[in-house]
Structure 1
Amino acid sequence: MPFCRTCSAAVVLLTSLSLFAQPATPFYHLSGRSAPSLRHALFAPDHDVLLCTAANPHGSSVDLPPALFNPHELSICAWVVLKAQKQHDYRQVVFKSRRNDSPQRVDFKFGFWGAVPEFAYIHEDGKWHGIMRNGNDLAIAPNRRVPLADCPRLREDHWEHVAAVFNHGHIALYINGECRLEGRTPHDALLIQDTLMRIGCGEASGGANAFVLNGLLDDLRLYPQALDSAQIKQLVADSKGKYSAGKIRFQDPSEQFKAEFDPTFARKLAIVKAYEANPPPPSVSAQSPSMSIVRQHGVPMAARDGVVESMMCLMPQCSTDNHGVTMACRDFAAAGVDTVSDIFFPWMKWGDNCSGWWLAPGEYDFARIEDRLRAMTAGNPNARIIVRIKMNVPNWWLERYPEELSVNERGARSQQPAMSSERWLNDACGMLTDVVRHLEQSPLAKHIIGYLPAGGGTSEWFWWNYEKGLQDYSPANTAVFRRWLMGKYGTDDALQRAWRNPAVTLANATVPSPDLRNASEDGVFRDVRATQAVTDYRLFMSDVTSAAIGRAVRAVRAGLTTRKLVGTFYGYAHYLAGNTWQRLDNLGFQNLHKVLADPELDFLCAPTAYDRRRGGQEGDFIVAPTASLQLHNKLYWDEADIRTHLADGNESHKATSPDETAAILWRSFGHSLTKGTYLWWFLLSGNASFHTERIMNDVSAMARLDRELIDQPRRSVADIAVFSDELSLHYLNSTQPRLRNYSRDAFTELARLGAPSDCYLLDDIAHPALPRYKLYIFLNAFYITPERRQAIHDRLARDGATALWFYAPGYLSPTGNDCQTMAELTGISFTRQELGQDASVDWLDAAGGWPGDPLRQLKRCPALTPAFAVNDAAATPLARLAGTGAVVAASKELPWGRSVYCLVPPSAEFLRALCDLLAIHVYSRSNDVFQANARFVMLHSRDDAPKSITLPKPRGWRNLIDGTVHPPTASISFPLPHGQTALFELLPPEDAQP
């Protein structure tokens, strides 16, 4: 058991706690309604203590001077009530951080996973340390893991005393005065910085309030000393008389919405009554449909039997029973949503999901699958169904083939196979073909328009067991890796030269050790020439995954009688870069260019970005390069598993009011219209989370518009192309969160630029159908071969365009890590530097109209190793590091066009200034979320300020949310409160009359 062995020793010799245990004075104390300097406090009227629930969207916080803290010793004590909830979430007592910085800063957090206590922090290495949940375990520093089910926890709905003590790296966690968990981290001190301390909630990546305690909090004390067990026992003894020992009930203001909540669908919605009174005529033919992709109005679109249709989709809660599926489908049928999807699980029982139907090799309980499909058609007789089939294997397979299971670096086997297992892939693909063939020969085939083979972790083709450690050290995977090396190198001599290892052979090569995979020879970069073994293994993992996807797609095709859509989850390596939990080098997830090149694959899908889906946030796609998908004639579905205000759970991305719910739903629809993509509503948090008049009326309005506008142009009008490179990510250390500056976080800035942009894979730079652009942005073009360098220069010369390079363009190449190859790519000379801490940047006015002054408040330059300074007399400086004067942004005219370099991460303000310089039209300058194409514009508000959209030329416009039509104008001004959405259709002249 991971419980305290030493904390009780401090009190062995004490004869009287009251005599010897005298706590020190706290430097911060919150008690009852006495809450010094606390902002946005919300108190429970029936208890006179702090109420910490989603009803307080701002969250409570206090800004304490860093000097109050002792970084070597810290004690946090509080009385809390954790309200019982159906699912586990992070729930915070205190959280001191600034996570919208990069690298993100977390001085410390103290709270719970569910009801299991945690204390953790992020140190200079950018990694989490402490006692904290990791997957299904509690990770206890330095290196223990204990199943969460075996960990101590608080009683929910009762007052409990909790304490966390940090003492020169030692952490002790207490419940009701008893030390229950302890661990030791490698750091003598916490990094106490000038950051905000949230109370009763936390902060998500990107800066949003999150991880609400969902309960009551009182008597919060912070001490600059490490209290011992006796002192904490005395605190509990002195204060427990104030708190009831019985079950605590309190009124959460958010419960005002419970009148809407109808989990049994006892109330029939008005649109359902109207639908059932006047059902639509049948629109499903008697024969199995033939699906195709046609290019229409600038984007690829799906056609059923040659006719383009709305593809707005529903996915019911996948753990519901068949009746629940029927009821959800009926709501959405009444709203005009006919496309439906569901997940078919061959192994895992999750509530009343459709599972357990793969009985043995070649044996299936098809009746279970058919019953689920009939539940959909019972709710919607016109259902067009996309069948998602999980490729996990059942227990009988796992018991029969234990040698095929993946193994992490500690030798622990997973509960699913190695992604490279040929036996798994053969058997799973055989299952896919069998199931598809059966369904295509059944009466249900007329309803089925597509299939989604779902492999790997969470259906997303992550290597199984990635959350449990580095993958995959199984003998089976090692054997496949050796075959891959044989295909690449052919001879021992070639392998030895590449790996710089005279002892390695094609017969004895192994998966690189954890130390090798975790190393970083050149700051955030790997040494290209010295670490080929690690790079090869990363390339191998991605090749295995993309090959498995191709096999799965063809297995589905083998069972078809007519052409159906086939797609899967994939394509968000750029979103995961810098994620230290879902480490990119452990996922096998960097081959999007190969997946897109597969002519048999029709679509990709992925969830809406979880960390930016609240009102006021971007709510955008985690698959950033949607323009590459469209270039390769692929469809994209945004899986909008929105947590409405009626959703179960306490997630940070849950809406807190009906107004916020409506705004984020319309934002999702606005993204689909402006980006030319599809949308599916996934009721992951419960079918009842959408079952309310207002939500379904909004969905009905969107579905009607989606059908009505199907023939309107959705072509891009962007003058900006953004390129992100998967290959470069293979040469980065995946434990470096700073990399998010030039990937995931960059797209939040692009969303607030106010001018549309198209995002591509760098692999598509030479694609013959790539449109012309004025500005080419290269976010992470770090690893560049001579061939790719020439392709980039050719493209820029063709368009006479400006190139904007960030951080380390061309620093890596087949010849190694070198500033010279940066110069060869950008035309600008550099020197290598180290930036050991964040630094301010002075932006300069420059010849040629560069507007330096508006950029004065831009982001600081994050600590980076290596960093680079422009050392080129022919380049015009645009920004210098404060103090050193090193040039970190510059511009230079070259034969192929203008080259602009910037070490500072992308910001909307900087990009907007460059747009002005290049005469690129900017529609919005308010840093709100903005998207536009030839026909539609969408703005989602970040604040309460009045809004204005400037059009390239006067256009009539229709407000798609309220239906009003307005005469031609070049400027649309309107009020829009924080977190609300505006969605307009730009009308041709003949339609512009109100």
Structure 2
Amino acid sequence: MHAPVEAKVEMRAGRPTLVIDGLPTAPLLYALTDSPGARWSWEEVPARNIALFAQQGVRLFLGMIFLEEMIGVDGRLDIALARRQVAGFLAAAGPDAKVMLRVHFHVPLAWGAENPDECVGYADGPAVPEERWGLVRVTGHDNDQPVRASFYSEKWREWARRYLTDFCGQLAATPEGDAVFGLQVAYGVYGEWHQFGFFCHDPDTGGAATRAFRRWLRNRYGSALELSAAWGRAGLTWEAVTAPDSAARERADLALLRDPAKQQAVIDYYTFLHEGLADAVIALAQTVREAWPRPIMTATFFGYFYCLFGRQAAGGHLAVARVLASPHVDALCASPVYTPGAMPPGGTGHSKSVVDAVRRAGKLWLDEHDRATSVTRCPWDPNFAGTIEDDVAVLRRNLLQAPTRGGGAWCFDFGIVAGTPAFARLGLVGWWDHPRLQAEIGRIRAVMASRHGRPYRRCADVLVLHDPWAFAHIASRRHDPAKMVFGVMPVSEVDPVSPLLTDGLVEALYRSGLIHDDALLSELPTLDLQPYKLVILATTPLLAAAQRTFLREHVAVDGRHLVLLGYAGWSDGRRVGAEVAGAWSGFTTRASEQPRPEQRLEVDGATETLSLKEAFVLPEFGPAERDDVLGRWANGATSALRRRTENATWWTFALPPNSPGTWRAIGRRAECAVVNEHDDTTLLGDGLLVVHSLAGGERTLRVPGGPTIRTTLPPRSTVVFDAESGEILLG
């Protein structure tokens, strides 16, 4: 065993850097899952895959541990299982390996049975107790309607903090604990801090959450009289406050928007849910910080924004800025986007979070790479098909996505439980248990390590603004459990526009050849806007008076282009409507029922048609004489405009462009750099240019402030260039 590891995240050369024992360390990990058969490091197949990654120079590993599995009937914590988990990694990878443990805070089943008032309640029906038999995945029922301790239960929080403190103290004093560089606090659906059952149900209406909500309201409003006025319910008392029912949560007043004058109770409830969720995460990270006797990296799943299945308010992370502001959290993590436009070859492979905000906050971003390979296929997609060449291309695209944004990644190996087409010959193998893929892991790790010491640079001149809190003002409906197919993206029946504003927009930008940064709307006053020629208001339906003034006086200046998408500015926090938007943007705006909502766009020769399946209330604009009409609805009404003013150019789109070509045309008009004229996923940052192409072919790649690279891309490939020299690093 080596001396006790000390780890921290600090800003070096413009990027959050994982520093272990004083040395910058490439943040690439191999991770075991929490599935039986694939989760214990000492077992045959996991140990083999740990060793394979170690042979490629990977020295960081991630394993799971559940507190409930270490607590005896006498209530005592026995950490032998955790010690054995760490020891297995060291035995397979070598004594200089470093381990991060994901610590889950699921309570024993008996705790839930004994404390029903401390558990999650569901607005649409009672919780369903589990019947466990055999080797079960503890998280397996998280997204059903399970009995789980509520995030808002003080009794659960005390339980979690007490056992976590004990766990840290015991483990840190062992030889195995000497190798632990990080602890990832995990709870909620799959440990990812989603509300339990959020796909198809409406949490949390339990006793603990209701009591916490009432306390939160007292702090917010001070008196029941003020609360009654805000909610429009005369005579309301604190004791009469309850969580909104499903009907209230699913009701929109105008298009997809809630009217604060009618639904402040629902808006308040979601605000409370997300602030309390963030506070639970921060409290556990702080417990690690205080209980571990030496510097350690604290990590958590948090910041999910894209690909939330239309359930951002029900189960996402609207209070991400609260976590980013905490000194107790060092690293944020997320699974990848699972949309059809992101995961397969030809897709974008991007993260679920607004990752540039994470970097600016000084936190390390860690992407989870859990894309199946052709080695063992995909356990939840029987139609998955691929080749080793496809696997290599996707591996490069996904793992190097994060470094271009100043972060890192881990490979999360479900392949061990996936089976293999050659089972009779091979048995169980990991997703990356193939010589080509292992060699590629080594090459990718070397590229990531080579970035350390170089100043981080990202030549983005497009800025995309998102407001996660907007989803407290946007209605969402539960998905029908009978129609849910695991691995298939469900579609929102209340809000057909937000997927275009989030997933559709970002996928188009990644494939446009433009280089964009993303940001939280709350960051806007602190951002250096000088590099950005094009600013996009994506999910920003709520704009307060100060934000509107800032946009007019500090963003729409110096010839910059400002693009308003969807219902941007339709609410000011008190009122909602087209006239609220028009009053600040200057565009004559109406809410129009579109019986056949089809928008045809033409921007400087680029054309695009977007349509919705059913009638919907959507923006319609009255063009002024000076305006360029860029889009029309099927009935001829105007759906998109461009207006030049003295200081800026304003654009407005009822439905956001989702075509890479349209965004290239908008970018050119704003004089933004276009790195790639083709619809390839094009990533630029940290001295790397990564181009993922399905069709391949001749390309001229123009790096801002760097070389012009003329090359021929193979089909279904990812080629990685040095952005400063133009040299091919991986091809």
Question: Structure 1 length normalisation: TM-score?
Answer: 0.65
Matches within 5 A, 1:408-487: 408-413=122-127, 414-467=146-199, 469-487=201-219
* Match for residue 734 of structure 1 among 467, 472, 476: 476
Distance across 2 between alignment mates of 1:405 and 1:549 = 17
Shift of 1:357: 0.9
Identity %: 21
Shift of 1:473: 2.5
Distance across 1 between alignment mates of 2:60 and 2:385 = 25
> Any conservation in 2 of the 1:541–1:587 contact (CA below 8 Å)?
no
Counterpart in the other structure of 1:288: 5
Name the Cα RMSD after superposition.
2.4
State the one-letter code of the partner of 1:304: I
> Any conservation in 1 of the 2:256–2:495 contact (CA below 8 Å)?
no
Distance across 1 between alignment mates of 2:163 and 2:660 = 49
Counterpart in the other structure of 2:582: 823
Query: In the superposition, relative to structure 1, how do residues 932 and 989 fare at CA in structure 2: closer, same or farther (>3 Å)?
Result: closer
> Any conservation in 2 of the 1:924–1:950 contact (CA below 8 Å)?
yes
Distance across 2 between alignment mates of 1:360 and 1:293 = 42
Query: In the superposition, relative to structure 1, how do residues 411 and 365 fare at CA in structure 2: closer, same or farther (>3 Å)?
Result: same
Query: In the superposition, relative to structure 1, how do residues 591 and 550 fare at CA in structure 2: closer, same or farther (>3 Å)?
Result: same
Q: Deviations over 1:120-145 (max 9, x none)?
A: xxxxxxxxxxxxxxxxxxxxxxxxxx
Distance across 2 between alignment mates of 1:723 and 1:361 = 52
Matches within 5 A, 1:888-907: 888-894=639-645, 896-906=647-657, 907=659
Query: In the superposition, relative to structure 1, how do residues 784 and 811 fare at CA in structure 2: closer, same or farther (>3 Å)?
Result: same
> Any conservation in 1 of the 2:451–2:687 contact (CA below 8 Å)?
no
* Match for residue 745 of structure 1 among 497, 500, 504: 504
* Match for residue 336 of structure 2 among 601, 604, 608: 608
Matches within 5 A, 1:509-528: 509-528=241-260
Distance across 1 between alignment mates of 2:582 and 2:559 = 19
Distance across 2 between alignment mates of 1:501 and 1:924 = 56
Shift of 1:810: 0.7
State the one-letter code of the partner of 2:723: L
Counterpart in the other structure of 1:980: 717
* Match for residue 620 of structure 1 among 328, 350, 353: 350
Distance across 2 between alignment mates of 1:360 and 1:767 = 52
Shift of 1:763: 1.0
Counterpart in the other structure of 2:363: 634
* Match for residue 570 of structure 2 among 811, 827, 834: 811
Counterpart in the other structure of 2:117: 403
Secondary structure at the residue paired with 1:905? coil
1:391 lines up with 2:105 in the alignment:
yes
* Match for residue 681 of structure 1 among 411, 416, 435: 411
> Any conservation in 2 of the 1:313–1:679 contact (CA below 8 Å)?
yes
Shift of 1:874: 5.2
Deviates more, 1:640-649 or 1:805-814: 640-649
Gaps of 5+ in 2: 128-145, 417-428, 478-493
Secondary structure at the residue paired with 1:712? coil
Distance across 2 between alignment mates of 1:633 and 1:954 = 27
Matches within 5 A, 1:499-648: 499-576=231-308, 579-580=309-310, 583-587=311-315, 589-611=317-339, 612-623=342-353, 625-647=354-376
> Any conservation in 2 of the 1:340–1:383 contact (CA below 8 Å)?
yes
Counterpart in the other structure of 1:949: 701
* Match for residue 323 of structure 1 among 43, 46, 53: 43
* Match for residue 707 of structure 1 among 449, 457, 480: 449
Distance across 1 between alignment mates of 2:63 and 2:17 = 22
> Any conservation in 2 of the 1:360–1:396 contact (CA below 8 Å)?
no
> Any conservation in 2 of the 1:452–1:566 contact (CA below 8 Å)?
yes
State the one-letter code of the partner of 2:115: Y
Q: Deviations over 1:927-966 (max 9, x none)?
A: 11111126211111132443332334663xxxxxxxxxxx
> Any conservation in 2 of the 1:806–1:901 contact (CA below 8 Å)?
yes
**Structure (1 or 2) with the greater strand fraction:** 1
Counterpart in the other structure of 1:358: 71
Query: In the superposition, relative to structure 1, how do residues 973 and 878 fare at CA in structure 2: closer, same or farther (>3 Å)?
Result: farther
Shift of 1:697: 1.1
State the one-letter code of the partner of 1:316: L
Gaps of 5+ in 1: 1-283, 348-355, 844-850, 956-969
Secondary structure at the residue paired with 1:573? coil
1:667 lines up with 2:397 in the alignment:
yes
Secondary structure at the residue paired with 1:458? helix
> Any conservation in 2 of the 1:543–1:588 contact (CA below 8 Å)?
no
Q: Deviations over 1:566-589 (max 9, x none)?
A: 12111113431xx25xx2332262
- Structure ranking higher on relative contact order (CA contacts 8 Å, 6+ apart): 2
* Match for residue 23 of structure 2 among 307, 323, 328: 307
> Any conservation in 2 of the 1:631–1:770 contact (CA below 8 Å)?
no
Query: In the superposition, relative to structure 1, how do residues 909 and 864 fare at CA in structure 2: closer, same or farther (>3 Å)?
Result: farther
Query: Number of residue pairs matched?
Result: 672
**Structure (1 or 2) with the greater helix fraction:** 2
State the one-letter code of the partner of 1:833: S
Distance across 2 between alignment mates of 1:644 and 1:989 = 30
Distance across 2 between alignment mates of 1:660 and 1:532 = 49
Distance across 1 between alignment mates of 2:213 and 2:727 = 63
Distance across 2 between alignment mates of 1:987 and 1:377 = 38
Deviates more, 1:717-726 or 1:783-792: 783-792
> Any conservation in 2 of the 1:927–1:942 contact (CA below 8 Å)?
no
Counterpart in the other structure of 2:65: 344
State the one-letter code of the partner of 1:614: P
* Match for residue 940 of structure 1 among 689, 692, 710: 692
Q: Deviations over 1:55-113 (max 9, x none)?
A: xxxxxxxxxxxxxxxxxxxxxxxxxxxxxxxxxxxxxxxxxxxxxxxxxxxxxxxxxxx
* Match for residue 91 of structure 2 among 359, 374, 378: 378
State the one-letter code of the partner of 2:76: E
Distance across 1 between alignment mates of 2:698 and 2:614 = 36
Shift of 1:410: 4.2
* Match for residue 332 of structure 1 among 42, 45, 53: 53
Secondary structure at the residue paired with 1:466? coil
Distance across 1 between alignment mates of 2:706 and 2:499 = 39
Shift of 1:400: 2.8
Q: Deviations over 1:800-845 (max 9, x none)?
A: 42111101111111231132321343232212212122324253xx
Secondary structure at the residue paired with 1:377? helix
Q: Which structure has the bigger radius of gyration? A: 1
